[in-house]
Structure 1
Amino acid sequence: MSLVFGQYSTTDEVLDGIDLSGKRILVTGVSAGLGVETARVLVAHGADVVGAARDLDKARRATRQVVPGAQGGSLELVELDLASFASVRACADALNTDGRPFDIIICNAGVMACPLGKTADGFETQFGTNHLGHFLLVNRIAGLLKDGGRLVTLSSAGHRFSDVDLDDPNFDHTAYEPFIAYGRSKTANILFAVEFDRRHRDRGVRATAVHPGGIQTELARHMSEADMAALVENVQKVNEAAGRPPFAFKSIPQGAATSVWAAIVADAEAVGGHYCEDCHVAEVTTDGDAFSISGGVRPYAFDPIKAEALWLASEEMVGERF
C-alpha cells in the first residue's frame, strides 16, 4: 500500500527505502536551500546528480554535505546562469555533447521579489530567470530526457499574485511591483509544465509544477526583515479569516519533499500536467487570497490556450523553435 505524505513530510521520509542507483537527474540551483537538499537526498539514495549553478565556487561549498549513500551516487557540477541565454546555451551544448541521458529534470533555481532589473538579454529579471532560462535549457536538452522521464518545475503559491502578461512581459508599460513580477514568473512555470507535458506525454514523459511551501531560504534575500514580517502578517490574517491554522515556515527538508515526491514517488499519470503542493495534487480553485501560502492553484495557470500562447511567445523571446 502506498504511503501518504503531507505538509510536514521530509525528503528522507518520502524517499525512505527507495534505491535510485542508475538514475541520472539534473537539478538547477544547487548553491543554496532547496537545491542543495534535493541533490543531497537524491545522491544519498544512489542517484547520479548533475547540479547546475551560476556560482560554482559557492555551489562547491554548499554541496559539501552531498555524499553518496550505501547505493553509491554522485554529484557533478555544471555552470548555468539562467539570466543569460549565452550561458544557458553553453550549458545545454555541453550536456548534449556529453550525451548521457537524464531520467528526471528538476528546475529548482529561481529569484523572488527582486528590484526592477533586466537579464543579460533584456528581459525582466524574474520572468527571464525563472521562466525563460529554464524554458530554453529544458527544450534544448529535451532529447536527453528518457522516454518515461519526468520534468518538475518549481512554481509557488505566489502564482496567485498574477497571471502572465504576454502583452507587457518586461513592465515597459506597467508599473513594476516585485511580487506581481514574481507571480507572473511562477504562473509561467506552471503553464510551461502544462504545455511540455502535452507535447511529450506520447513518449511517456510527464511534467508537473510544484509549490514547495513557505521556507526561509536565500530566495528571500531581496526582502528586508520588515518586508518579510509584513508578508507573514498578511498570511496570518488571511488564515485567521478563513479559519485555517496559523502559518508556520517549513524546514528545508520539508520544502524539498514535494519536488522529490513528484519526481520519483508519485504516479506519473496522477501528477502529469498538474500542480502539486504538500506531496499531493492540488485542486484548481478561485478561492483564497493571494497571500494564501497553499490551498490550490488558479485556473488561469491551467488554461491550455494560454499555455500554448506562452510557449510560442517564449520561442520568439529566446529566438528558437522547439
Structure 2
Amino acid sequence: MAQIFGATSATEEVLAGRDLSGKRILVTGVSAGLGIETARALVAHGAHVVGAARDLAKAEAATRRAQAAATGSGGLELVELNLASLASVRRCADDLLKRGEPFDVLIANAGVMACPFGLTDDGFELQFGTNHLGHFVLVNRIASLLRGGSRVVALSSSGHRYSDVDLDDPHFERTPYEPFVAYGRSKTANILFAVELDRRLRERGTRATAVHPGVIETELGRHLPDDALATFVERSNADLAARGKPPFALKTILQGAATSVWAGVVAAADEVGGRYCENCHVTTRVTLDPIDPISEGVRPYALDPERAAALWAKSEELVGERF
C-alpha cells in the first residue's frame, strides 16, 4: 500500500528509500528557496540535476550544500536561464538540445510574485511572462528530450484563486494593475499549461501536473512589505479562530519542496497527470471560496480543458512560435 503523505511531510520523508540513480532532472530557479531544497533532495538520492538560474554566481554559492549532498551517480550542474528573456530561454533550450541528454523529470520551479508593474525583455507583463511564457517556451523547445515515462511539474500556487487568466488583456494594457491579480493570472496559467501539456504528451508517456507548495517564507516574497507575511498569518488565524478552525502555520522549505518531488518521482503518473496537487496529494476539492490558508481547493477555471487549449493558442501567438 502506498504511503500517505500530507501538509507536514518533508522532502526526506517523501523520498525515504528512493534510489534515483540514473535519473536526470531539470529544475529551474535553483538559486533560492524551494529550488535549492528540491535540487538537494534529488541529488541526495542519486539523481543528476541540471539546475537553471538567472544568476549563476548566486546559484553556485546557494547550491554548495546540494553539491555536497550528492550520492552515488548523483550530481548537480548549472545552466544559465533568464525566464524574463525569450532570447535567454531559447539559448538555454538550444544548448540543452545540442547536448542531447534526455530528462526524466522537469520541475518548472522558478518564478516571481506580487512585484511592481514591469515588463519582460519581450514586452510581456513580468509575472505572466516569467512564470508562464518563459517556461512555456523552454518546456516546448526541449520536449524531445523528455523520455517516455517522464514528467513535467509546474509550480503553481493557491494564489491561482485570485484570478483567472485574461486572454484579452494579458499585459494589463487596459486593466488597472494589481500585483496579486497578476500573480493569480500567472499561477492559473501554470495549471492550465500542465493540463494542456498533459493532454498533448500523455500518448508518448510524458505526464504533466501542477503543484501548490504551500505558504513558505522565501525570497519569493521580496517585493512584499517586511511585515506582510506576519500580518497575513495574524489576520488568517483571527479569521480561522472565529470560524472554529485550527491555526495556520507556515510550511518550512523542506515541507514546501516535498510536493514537487512527490509529484515528480513518487506519485503514480496516472494519479497526477493533468491534475493540481497540494500537500503531497491530488486536490479533489473544486472551490469558489476565497483563499483560505488552511483549506485546500482549486478553481474550476484552472482545470478547464477548453480554457487550457485557448491559453496554449494565445501563448503561441505571444511568443511567435507553434508547438
Matches within 5 A, 1:158-177: 158-177=159-178
Aligned position for 2:263: 262
User: Match of 1:115, SS?
Assistant: coil
Deviation of 1:245 after TM superposition, in Å, equals 1.5
Q: How far apart, in 1, do the equivalents of 2:26 and 2:86 lie? A: 18
Residue 241 to residue 299, structure 1, CA distance change in 2 (3 Å): farther
Which residue identity does 2:74 align to in structure 1?
Answer: G
Aligned position for 1:16: 16
Q: How far apart, in 2, do the equivalents of 1:170 and 1:70 lie? A: 44
Residue 238 to residue 168, structure 1, CA distance change in 2 (3 Å): farther
User: How many residues are aligned here?
Assistant: 322
What is the CA deviation profile of residues 285-315 of structure 1, one whole-angstrom value per residue up to 9, with x for unaligned ones? Answer: 2243124455111100011110000000000
Q: How far apart, in 1, do the equivalents of 2:247 and 2:274 lie? A: 30
Residue 11 to residue 74, structure 1, CA distance change in 2 (3 Å): same
What is the CA deviation profile of residues 229-275 of structure 1, one whole-angstrom value per residue up to 9, with x for unaligned ones? Answer: 33334433443354332111111000000000000110110100000
Asked whether the equivalents of residues 45 and 72 of structure 1 are also in contact (C-alpha less than 8 Å), the reply is no
Aligned position for 2:86: 85
Which residue identity does 2:169 align to in structure 1?
Answer: D
Asked whether the equivalents of residues 24 and 105 of structure 2 are also in contact (C-alpha less than 8 Å), the reply is yes
Residue 169 to residue 238, structure 1, CA distance change in 2 (3 Å): farther
Matches within 5 A, 1:294-305: 294-305=295-306
Aligned position for 1:278: 279
Q: How far apart, in 2, do the equivalents of 1:125 and 1:116 lie? A: 7
Asked whether the equivalents of residues 148 and 206 of structure 1 are also in contact (C-alpha less than 8 Å), the reply is yes
Asked whether the equivalents of residues 7 and 279 of structure 2 are also in contact (C-alpha less than 8 Å), the reply is yes
| Structure 2 unpaired stretches of 5+ | none
Q: Cα RMSD over matched residues? A: 1.2
User: Match of 2:13, SS?
Assistant: helix
Matches within 5 A, 1:297-316: 297-316=298-317
Which residue identity does 2:146 align to in structure 1?
Answer: L
Task: Report the TM-score, using the length of structure 2 for normalisation.
Answer: 0.97
Deviation of 1:68 after TM superposition, in Å, equals 4.4
User: Match of 1:310, SS?
Assistant: helix
| Structure 1 unpaired stretches of 5+ | none
Deviation of 1:121 after TM superposition, in Å, equals 0.4
In the alignment, structure 1 residue 95 sits paired with structure 2 residue 96: yes
Aligned position for 2:47: 47
Q: How far apart, in 2, do the equivalents of 1:149 and 1:220 lie? A: 31
Asked whether the equivalents of residues 157 and 293 of structure 1 are also in contact (C-alpha less than 8 Å), the reply is no
Aligned position for 1:247: 248
In the alignment, structure 1 residue 214 sits paired with structure 2 residue 230: no
In the alignment, structure 1 residue 109 sits paired with structure 2 residue 132: no
Aligned position for 2:59: 59
Asked whether the equivalents of residues 114 and 222 of structure 1 are also in contact (C-alpha less than 8 Å), the reply is yes
Q: Which moved more, 1:74-83 or 1:240-249?
A: 240-249
Aligned position for 1:71: 72
Q: How far apart, in 2, do the equivalents of 1:185 and 1:174 lie? A: 15
Residue 152 to residue 32, structure 1, CA distance change in 2 (3 Å): same
Q: How far apart, in 2, do the equivalents of 1:133 and 1:69 lie? A: 29
Between the aligned residues of both structures, percent identity stands at: 67
User: Match of 2:297, SS?
Assistant: coil
What is the CA deviation profile of residues 75-105 of structure 1, one whole-angstrom value per residue up to 9, with x for unaligned ones? Answer: 0100000000000000000000000000000
In the alignment, structure 1 residue 230 sits paired with structure 2 residue 238: no
Deviation of 1:283 after TM superposition, in Å, equals 1.6
Q: Which moved more, 1:81-90 or 1:280-289?
A: 280-289
User: Match of 2:313, SS?
Assistant: helix
Q: How far apart, in 2, do the equivalents of 1:68 and 1:46 lie? A: 9
User: Match of 2:301, SS?
Assistant: helix
Deviation of 1:110 after TM superposition, in Å, equals 0.3
Task: Report the TM-score, using the length of structure 1 for normalisation.
Answer: 0.97
Which residue identity does 1:99 align to in structure 2?
Answer: G
Which residue identity does 1:280 align to in structure 2?
Answer: H
Q: How far apart, in 1, do the equivalents of 2:214 and 2:125 lie? A: 24
Asked whether the equivalents of residues 159 and 187 of structure 1 are also in contact (C-alpha less than 8 Å), the reply is yes
Q: How far apart, in 2, do the equivalents of 1:286 and 1:54 lie? A: 36
